[in-house]
Structure 1
Amino acid sequence: MIRPMLLAGALLAAPAPALAQRQAPPTPAPVDHVVAKLRDAALTDTLAYDIVEGLTTEVGQRLAGTEAEARARTWAVARLRALGFRNVHVEPYQMPVWVRGEETAEVIAPFPQRLKLVALGNSGATPAAGITAEVAIFRSYGDLANAPDGSLAGKIAYVGNAMQPTQDGSSYGANGVGRFVGPALAARKGALAVVIRSIGTDAHRNPHTGGTNWPAGQQPIPAAALSVSDAKLLERIADRGGPIRLHLTLTPHFTGQGESGNVVAEVPGRDPKAGIVLIGGHLDSWDLGTGAIDDGAGVAITTAAAKRLLDGPRPRRTIRVVWFGAEEPGGFGGREYARVHGRERHATAQESDFGADRVWRFEVNLPDAASSVTDRLQSALAPLGIGKGPGVGGDGTDVGPTIALGVGSVDLNQDGTRYFDTHHTPDDTLDRIDPAQLAQNVAAWTTMLAIVANAPEEIGPVAPRK
């Protein structure tokens, strides 16, 4: 360790060229005092918590296309109008509606015992009496992919994973393929049905639901997620050798076409030519919990932030808040929004759909002409503990179709370390929300909106993220 006085002497004795080579740190962009005041006031926000508390208490679960989601839209319109938002309305559309039925599983041999599982969204059904078949064990999606075609005829496929918590949620993409397309792959290889280890990071006996996808023309087979605990149990039974026989009953079904819709509200801007700042989250939820972190928190955060701009001087750009419908079964609301509004000029589009824990990073996709916007964001978000990430912004199921049209984005990345402990489970309830972290989200979104919606720079089209 160099003592301070010796270090000072060494610097004074250094030749001038050596001193000239030392670079001073870049001067951060100044933070507008109005932005700073809005940001700091938002740290005490209670509106976001009030919204998510009301939504989960007065409506509860909101399965897409059902009467519950319709009640949620009615609730949302009333709440947004009461808050003073302009142009509040519903934009309805039709979608196929899937509902849950009976869900049971039981190991018949070699060690009889019941298992906890739930059907995956869009799952096919067993006969009412269920099916009994031998289980083919695959510890990963890769193992399933390497199985020969036809090798699963007459069997139930089990697909495992080893998902671990990550701050950025990257483990979801790495392991989620087992749910997204694993059942369809098992079906192509001849499986009667498929059960997967839940895509989750918990050690509870609460299984995680979520949608699965079937290629056009493929008949869905029964597909379910075992709780993480019971998936590990099934693997331990397999380690003992010998065949495993499972009795599985799943009776979900499609009820036909039903109505969903996007709830739209606005903070009117001064300059119609400057483009719209699109924000929001999704109103629908899975039906196991009450949709607090997925995504009651997201609509609450973005709405509370927009309300702070609504109550102040009119921003340059219109801020459009959308509570998207039918995200969970396949992103219907986002595609419908882009179909209806894709020809309007949007400056940026961004959503909140990763729970309610603190924002720790932001990433952008803005044109070079608006690079100074990024500098101002970096300075204004730093006091909230938010740094700029190395990636390119532009993420989200609901805003993705709009972003794909060449619209810029500012992603506010939340800490996902504990998100997948309760994601898509019965534990997705208000209890999982920390009010202080929720308020930090509102402060981050308020800061972003105050800068982007009022930026004097033109925010034009960008190259979509690859």
Structure 2
Amino acid sequence: MTKTLLALSAAALCFTMPVLAAAQVPGGVYKYPAQAEADAALEFDRAAWDFVEGVTTEVGPRQAGTEAEARGRDWAVKWLKARGFQNVADEPFMMDTWVPGDTHKAEITSPFPQPFVIQPLGGSASTGPDGIEAEVVMFKTVADLNAAPAGSLEGKIAYISHSMTPTQDGSQYGFAGPARWVGAGIAKNKGAIATVIKSVGTDYHRNPHTGGTTFRNADGSTDVGRVVPTPAGALSLPDAANLERMFERAGDRPITMKLVLTPERLGMTQSGNVVGEIVGTNPDLPPVLLACHLDSWWNSPGAFDDGAGCGIAAAAALNVQKHGQPLRTIRVLFAGAEEVGLFGSTAYSEAHIDEPIGVAYESDFGADRIWRFESNFRDTNPDLHAELAASVARFGVADSTIVARGGADINIARDQKTAIIDLQQDGTRYFDLHHTPDDTLDKIDPVQLRQNVAVWTQITGILANYEGSIQGD
């Protein structure tokens, strides 16, 4: 959209849409709260870039429960304090900590010997330094694996594929994700000694996509004392494609793989949630919660996932403050240990469940432009929903009838059954980078990052100055 069209669109909205808690500016024109700040963010905002550039440069990868994640929290606390946030704190919690270890190798030993590129999945067991070697059995889908007879994988390695493709809304993650989320556990219960999967991603670089996997007993129980994980890893997409070609031409010959993965469990270590506030003038109004997660996997500095999200949330809060002290407090939550099991989101909700939240939303889908607005109060508060949707139309954001469910780190909003917003980002290239070594600062487009900040600033400006009940479904 050209600057001229943006200006015309913004002017039309100013005169034709109803305004909540409007502020008058010279010339008698009324604007949405923080409209000028949102428009300025589109061109000039630097705070979000400053955050993600700083945390990726000065801290780097931030694996949950480790010294690196602790350095990330310390860095974030200092960053928030330096920019005037109040009530900044690192709220600790304990977690069972898994780390990837040093050795990650896979090689086909027969009939077409060659090395593959692999990364362990979070929660994987170790093969031991000498590794394991066994026949590989291929499953095109998790459904095919589920249909395999009990005991049919005894002593073998399961390989699980999928057919994920890029989409703007990222919806195929839900389609392909089970290969990673539950595949290894299903294979284990059918006798497999290890599992490898086609990375859940859409790029074709030799960069495996890691991510967490879960193990359950055959009866579905998850009690820690009884669940015994097996080694599990993700192959890069080109290597997975190569393996599948091998199956096509091997005929009756078995394909064997040697696998060496050496992750470790460290036991209980400390993680934490970093919080900070722009304090509002009316303490009786529940705050606006802006969330992200600060941790990343060990294999990247986590620029897209989710350093940019924390930068977007913090920048929006700062921009609204430029408009003047808001009625509601704006609280930012940089959650810890999201990647390995939503430990931070759970801990935050448990610690603050008796403190009502007015509305919550999260940025955790990269840094490309926001294209759709969703809420869970379209029916319960249609005027506010319409107001918010209209306010960001000038940034190319469409309204939607989809009910917002919220990001992973706002469990507290779901637990309190309060208002939730989803500001959906363009995910077309997100799963090219997700959980890979390619999730680096250079992949962030500063123009699209600023559009995110502008949209968040506008939405937050209205909500933080809204006096009524938001009434989520």
* TM-score (structure 2 length as normaliser): 0.90
Asked whether the equivalents of residues 159 and 178 of structure 1 are also in contact (C-alpha less than 8 Å), the reply is yes
Q: What residue is the counterpart of 1:51 in the other structure? A: 51
One-letter identity of the residue aligned with 1:261: G
1:34, CA displacement in angstroms? 4.1
Decide which of 278, 289, 310 is 1:267's aligned counterpart.
Answer: 278
Post-superposition offset of 1:459: 1.9
Corresponding residue for 2:125?
Answer: 124
- Which amino acid letter does the alignment assign opposite residue 242 of structure 2? L
Shift of 1:28: 4.2
What do the CA deviations read for 1:357-384 (whole angstroms, capped 9, x no partner)?
0000010012755321111112110000
Contact in 2 for aligned 1:367/1:459 (Cα 8 Å):
no
Aligned to 1:39: 38
For residues 366 and 345 of structure 1, the distance between their equivalents in structure 2, rounded to whole angstroms, comes to: 17
The residue matched to 1:273 in structure 2 has which SS?
Answer: coil
Per the alignment, residue 24 of structure 2 pairs with none
Kept in 2: contact 1:158–1:194 (CA 8 A): yes
Q: Distance in 2 between matches of 1:136 and 1:144?
A: 10
* Structure 2, unaligned runs of 5 or more: 1-15, 20-29, 217-221
Which whole-Å CA distance do the structure 2 matches of 1:96 and 1:214 have between them? 15
Instruction: Return 5+ residue gaps in structure 1 as ranges.
Output: 1-26
Q: Which stretch of the first structure deviates more once superposed, 158-167 or 28-37?
A: 28-37
Q: Deviations over 1:327-368 (max 9, x none)?
A: 000000000010011111111111100000000001001275
Deviates more, 1:152-161 or 1:448-457: 448-457
1:153 equivalent in structure 2: 154
Q: Post-superposition shift, 1:33?
A: 4.7
Match of 1:282 in 2: 293
Please say if residues 56 and 296 of structure 1, whose CA atoms lie closer than 8 Å, have aligned partners that are also in contact.
yes
Residue 394 of structure 1 deviates from its aligned partner by 2.4
Flag the 1:287–1:165 CA change in 2: closer, same or farther, 3 A. Answer: same
Counterpart in the other structure of 2:93: 93
Q: In 1, Cα distance between the equivalents of 2:110 and 2:239?
A: 15
8 Å Cα contact 2:38/2:319 also seen in 1: no
Determine the C-alpha separation between the residues in 2 that align with 1:159 and 1:204.
19
Residues 290-346 of structure 1: per-residue CA shift (max 9 Å, x gap): 100000000000000101122331111111101100000000000001001111111
- In the alignment, the residues of structure 1 paired with residue 285 and residue 470 of structure 2 have an alpha-carbon distance, to the nearest angstrom, of 8
Q: Partner residue of 1:256?
A: 267
The percentage of counterpart residues that share the same residue type is 50
* Among 229, 243, 247, the residue aligned to 1:234: 243
Output the CA distance in 1 between the equivalents of 2:83 and 2:378. 33
Partners of 1:342 and 1:402 within 8 A in 2: no
1:201 pairs with 2:202:
yes
SS in 1 for 2:162: coil
Matches within 5 A, 1:424-443: 424-443=435-454
2:421 counterpart (397, 407, 410): 410
The amino acid of 2:166's aligned partner reads P
The answer (yes or no) to whether the contact 1:370–1:457 under 8 Å persists in 2 is: no
Of 346, 351, 354, which aligns to 2:362?
A: 351
**Structure 2 contact 33–465 (Cα < 8 Å) conserved:** no
Instruction: Check conservation: 1:350, 1:394, Cα contact below 8 A.
Output: no
Structure-2 separation of matches of 1:170 and 1:51: 28
Which residue is equivalent to 1:104? 105
Measured in 2, the distance between the counterparts of 1:236 and 1:368 equals 51
Say if 1:267 and 1:319, in contact at 8 Å, map to a contact too. yes
Query: Aligned AA for 2:300?
Result: G
Distance change in 2, residues 1:130/1:234 (3 Å) = same
Are residues 1:395 and 2:406 paired? yes
The residue number in structure 1 matching 2:83 is 83
Q: So what's the TM-score if we normalise by structure 1?
A: 0.92
Q: How far apart, CA to CA, are the structure 2 residues paired with 1:415 and 1:338?
A: 28
Q: Secondary structure at the match of 1:94?
A: strand
AA in 1 matched with 2:108: V
Corresponding position of 1:360: 371
Point out 4+ residue stretches in structure 1 off by more than 6 angstroms: none
User: Do the aligned residues in 2 keep the contact of 1:394 with 1:400 (CA within 8 Å)?
Assistant: no
Partner of 1:300: 311
Aligned equivalent of 2:232? 223
Q: Is the CA contact 2:406–2:421 (under 8 Å) kept in the aligned structure 1?
A: no
Does residue 72 (structure 1) correspond to residue 81 (structure 2)? The answer is: no
Secondary structure in structure 2 of the residue aligned to 1:132: strand
Deviates more, 1:50-59 or 1:29-38: 29-38
Partner of residue 319 from structure 1, selected from 312, 318, 330: 330
Contact 1:200 1:421 in 2 (8 A): yes
> Where do 1:442-457 residues align within 5 Å?
442-457=453-468
Which secondary structure state, in structure 2, belongs to the residue aligned with residue 305 of structure 1?
A: helix
Aligned amino acid, residue 437 of structure 1: Q
For residues 445 and 188 of structure 2, the distance between their equivalents in structure 1, rounded to whole angstroms, comes to: 41
Cα distance in 1, alignment partners of residues 359 and 377 from structure 2: 8
How many Å separate the matches in 1 of 2:295 and 2:421? 23
Q: Is the 8 A contact 2:168 2:428 kept in 1?
A: yes
Following superposition, the deviation at residue 458 of structure 1 comes to: 1.5
The 2-side partners of 1:375 and 1:161 are apart by 39
Matched, 1:192 2:190: no
Quote how far apart the aligned CAs of 1:127 are. 2.3
What residue identity is the alignment partner of 1:318? T
- Please give the alpha-carbon distance, in whole angstroms, between the structure 1 residues aligned to 2:412 and 2:358: 14
Counterpart contact for 2:33–2:462, Cα < 8 Å: no
What is the rounded CA distance, in whole Å, between the counterparts of 1:227 and 1:374 in structure 2?
Answer: 42
Q: What secondary structure sits across from 2:197 in the alignment?
A: strand
Using the alignment, how far apart are the partners of 2:355 and 2:244 within structure 1?
52
Find the structure with the greater CA-based Rg.
1
Which one-letter code corresponds to 1:164 in the other structure?
Answer: T
- 2:209 and 2:94 map into 1 onto residues whose CA distance is 27
Whether the 8 Å contact between 1:29 and 1:379 is mirrored in structure 2 is no
Letter in 1 for 2:365: F
Give me the whole-angstrom Cα distance separating, in 1, the residues matched to 2:411 and 2:81. 27
Query: Residue 388 of structure 2: which of 365, 377, 383 is its match?
Result: 377
The 3-state SS of whatever aligns with 1:153 is: coil
For the 8 Å contact 2:413–2:419, the answer to whether it is kept is no
SS of residue paired to 1:446? helix
Q: Distance in 1 between matches of 2:149 and 2:412?
A: 36
Q: Which amino acid aligns with 1:40?
A: D
2:321 maps to what in 1? 310
**Quick check: 2:359–2:413 contact (8 Å CA) kept in 1?**
no
1:342 to 331, 342, 353: 353
> C-alpha deviations, 1:218-263, integer Å up to 9, x for none?
2000000000000000000000122100000111010111000000
